[in-house]
Structure 1
Amino acid sequence: MRVLIVDDDVLVTTSLKTIIEASGEISVVGIGDSAIQAVELYEELQPDILLMDIRMKESTGIEAATNILAKNEQAVILLLTTFSDDDYIMEALRIGVKGYLLKQDIEAIVPSIKAVKNGQSVFGHTIMERLPHLLQTEKITCSEEHKVNEKDLSILSLIAEGLNNKEIADQLYLSEGTIRNYISNLLEKLELRDRTQLAVFYYKNIYVK
Structure 2
Amino acid sequence: MIRLLIVDDDLLVTTSLKTIVEATGEISVIGVGNSAAQAVTLYEELQPDILLMDIRMKESTGIEAATKILAKEEQAAILLLTTFSDDEYIVEALRIGVKGYLLKQDLEAIVPSIKAVKNGQSVFGRTIMDRLPHLLQTEKTTCLEELKLNEKDLSIISLIAEGLNNKEISEKLYLSEGTIRNYISNLLEKLELRDRTQLAIFYYKNIYAK
TM-score by length of 1: 0.94
Q: Distance in 2 between matches of 1:31 and 1:110?
A: 17
Shift of 1:150: 1.9
Shift of 1:186: 0.8
Displacement over 4 Å in runs of 4+ = 137-141
Q: Distance in 1 between matches of 2:24 and 2:209?
A: 41
| Other structure's SS at 1:4 match | strand
State the match for 1:184 in structure 2: 185
Gaps of 5+ in 2: none
State the match for 1:110 in structure 2: 111
Q: What one-letter code is carried by the residue in structure 1 that aligns with 2:25?
A: G
Shift of 1:137: 4.7
State the match for 1:120 in structure 2: 121
Is contact 2:33–2:39 with CA below 8 Å preserved after alignment? Answer: yes
How many pairs are equivalent?
209
Q: What one-letter code is carried by the residue in structure 2 that aligns with 1:20?
A: V
Deviations 1:58-80 (A, max 9, x none): 00000000011011111110001
Identity %: 87
Q: Distance in 1 between matches of 2:83 and 2:13?
A: 11
| Other structure's SS at 1:198 match | helix
Is contact 2:35–2:57 with CA below 8 Å preserved after alignment? Answer: yes
Is contact 2:9–2:35 with CA below 8 Å preserved after alignment? Answer: yes
| Other structure's SS at 2:19 match | helix
State the match for 1:94 in structure 2: 95
Q: Distance in 1 between matches of 2:77 and 2:7?
A: 14
Is contact 1:157–1:202 with CA below 8 Å preserved after alignment? Answer: yes
Q: What one-letter code is carried by the residue in structure 2 that aligns with 1:204?
A: K
Is contact 2:121–2:164 with CA below 8 Å preserved after alignment? Answer: no
Shift of 1:138: 9.2
Shift of 1:94: 0.3
Is contact 2:51–2:78 with CA below 8 Å preserved after alignment? Answer: yes
Is contact 2:120–2:165 with CA below 8 Å preserved after alignment? Answer: no
Q: What one-letter code is carried by the residue in structure 2 that aligns with 1:25?
A: E
TM-score by length of 2: 0.93
Gaps of 5+ in 1: none
